[in-house]
Chains A and B, each alone.
Chain A
Amino acid sequence: MRTEQEHEVLRGLLGAWALQACLPEEGAELERHLADCPDCAEEGERLRRAAARLRADDPLDQPDGLRQQVLDFCLTRRAADRPLAPWAAPYAAETAKLDALLRDLGPAEWQEVAELPWHGGVPRRRPAEVLCHLAAVDGLLAQALGLPDPVPDGAPRVPAQGGDRAEPADPFRELLDRTDRLTRAQAGATPAAVRALWRAQTQAVLREIGPAAAEAPVDYGFARFAVRDAFIDRAFETWIHGDDVARAVDYPYAVPAPPHLRQMVDLAARMLPGALAGRRRHAYTGPAPSAGAARTLRLVIEGPANGEWLIPLDGPPPTGTVRADEATADEGTRDEAMRDPVAELVIDGVEFCQLAAAHRDPAHLPVGEYGDREAIRELLAAVPLLSRP
């Protein structure tokens, strides 16, 4: 005869038993009890029937583009009183896409190692570490919007011995430091917890932005971005690193929607004059820019994100990169801006972005080139310099 206490203990096991989730010896003991105890036998049978109805809620792949389709449909039925800024839309879409990929990752896939190439090397990180990296850099944007920084404070920097470090400071040191600190702080956390931390911050920044924040500065350490550009930059990084993770676990990963891709291309095009100048300073190659002889190159982007940009090759002019197609509204401006580019480079938008992420070899890219080959080589070599660790 069993005591009341033993009965309660075995009864407590019924749910696990119905799901075949207890140890064999526990199951055997419970089944002996069921033979003598009609109450438990009845409940056990009932729970078992319920458990048998469970189906794997296999997360059905959402068709690409359904998110945008649904949101557009909603917004035509009722316009948003507080619309999302167009420059924040790529970030909203890319973070959602990455989150959907993460939802599908099993325990073994969280242990895979992704390669994250940039022009200075190929760091290898597990998916949770990739998320720490993304969250650490997103944290700069969060701070600019008045949100808390997820990255714990680091130890005060020890000045180099004698203070006579000859080599120039690594421009990306701040980003790497932040990534390391957050990765260390989250080392003991489950992948689900790291995913939640990353995701909560992405949602918080999207909640926080208003039109007023567009021009506020975000300090990346090596450069400053306006908030509107920082959002596009973060969307770009989220896409590229999401793609890195997807490659490591062998999942398909869609490219950004055309209007989003176009904003990413535009940001890269605007940053190119700086990258060209940096390359020239480092390598002492190419002619020094001479006043009055500023060359430009016409960048023609093909594919869904198609458009044209005029890239100054000899240092940023006062006006910076001109979006050629934007100038079409004013024929006069257009004629002036389009005058005499020394070369034209035709490239697919996705390939251009992959090159800007140093995920392609500039020497082996299918491109169309017309005019000054040297100028084109120069530009193609500079594009990957936009990449960061």
Chain B
Amino acid sequence: MTAPDWDQQMRSRLARGEESALGELYDQLAPLVHGLAWRILGDEAAAAQLTREVFGHLWEHPEEFDPELRSLRSWVGELTRRHAVERLRRADLGEAEIDDRTADAQVQYVVAALPLPLRETLETTWLDGRTYQETARRLGISEQATKQRLRLGLQLLASALDSGS
């Protein structure tokens, strides 16, 4: 199943109230949500609480997600960041401090929102310190395609960071 199909189906299944879909959604996205929450809030209990909130929101309002506009990953990443920032504001943190805390998380969220082929190529290369040739072999794609994906992935990342999204 392609990613957009999965997103579309997940939305319908959540709307129908399928508990198995909720579990699947959690398994797919909890590392992103919990990771972002932990990174921004820097506190395990608060991160767990935020994870509950975000999934609670998704489960109650699946119709808010529009698969025509963006991927579920990117929407959930942004939702998490928004909830986390609100939480920091309620705790009376200054905007400068909030920007500081969200800066690293922002990269993570932007990477998470990249189209899967770009994200996969970027992560396979960067995280494990591979050469692009090794990445190409590992992913079973051409070296040319690998170079293109790495360049495009970094270009998108650079633009997103410049525009502060």
Q: Is the Cβ of B146 less than 8 Å from the Cβ of A16? A: yes
Q: Is the Cβ of B19 less than 8 Å from the Cβ of A84? A: yes
Which of B52, B60, B123, B147 lies in contact with A70, CB distance below 8 A? B52
Which of B34, B104, B108, B131 lies in contact with A21, CB distance below 8 A? B131
Interface size on B, residues (CB 8 A): 56
Q: Is the Cβ of A96 less than 8 Å from the Cβ of B27? A: yes
B-side contacts of A84, CB under 8 Å: 19-20, 23
| Residue in B closest to A73 when the chains form the complex, CB atoms | B52
Q: Does B24 contact A (CB under 8 A)?
A: yes
Q: Is the Cβ of A22 less than 8 Å from the Cβ of B107? A: no
Stretch at the interface among A47-55, A218-226, A253-261: A47-55
Q: Is the Cβ of A57 less than 8 Å from the Cβ of B127? A: yes
Q: How far is the CB of B165 from chain A (nearest CB, A)?
A: 13
Q: Is the Cβ of B16 less than 8 Å from the Cβ of A82? A: yes
Contact digits for B17-38, partner A, Cβ 8 Å, 1 yes 0 no: 1111111101100110011001
Q: Does A185 contact B (CB under 8 A)?
A: no
Q: Is the Cβ of A60 less than 8 Å from the Cβ of B161? A: no
A-side contacts of B111, CB under 8 Å: 54, 57
Stretch at the interface among A61-69, A145-153, A161-169, A336-344: A61-69
Q: How far is the CB of B12 from chain A (nearest CB, A)?
A: 12
Q: How far is the CB of A74 from chain B (nearest CB, A)?
A: 4
List CB contacts (< 8 Å) of B116-165 with chain A.
122-123, 125-133, 135, 138, 144, 146-155, 157-158, 161
**Provided the pairs A67-B30, A84-B19 are in contact, do residues A19 and B126 lie with their beta carbons within 8 angstroms?**
yes
Q: Is the Cβ of A77 less than 8 Å from the Cβ of B23? A: no
Q: Is the Cβ of A50 less than 8 Å from the Cβ of B158? A: yes
**Provided the pairs A22-B132, A23-B133, A60-B38 are in contact, do residues A71 and B155 lie with their beta carbons within 8 angstroms?**
no
A-side contacts of B26, CB under 8 Å: 67, 70-71, 96
Give Cα distance in the complex from A54 to B108, angstroms.
Answer: 7
A-side contacts of B123, CB under 8 Å: 57
6 cross-chain pairs, A with B, having the tightest CB-CB distances, nearest first: A81-B17, A15-B151, A15-B150, A50-B158, A80-B19, A84-B19
Taking A78-B60, A84-B23 as given, write out 13 further A-B residue pairs in contact, using a Cβ cutoff of 8 Å, ordered by the A residue number.
A14-B154, A15-B154, A21-B125, A23-B131, A50-B154, A50-B157, A66-B48, A70-B30, A70-B52, A71-B22, A74-B56, A75-B22, A207-B21
Residues of A within 8 A of B (CB): 12-16, 18-23, 46-47, 49-51, 53-57, 59-60, 62-63, 66-67, 69-71, 73-75, 77-84, 88, 92, 96, 99-100, 103, 106-107, 190, 203, 206-207, 209
Pairs A–B under 8 Å by Cβ, sample size 9: A12-B147, A15-B147, A51-B154, A54-B122, A60-B31, A60-B34, A74-B22, A84-B20, A207-B20
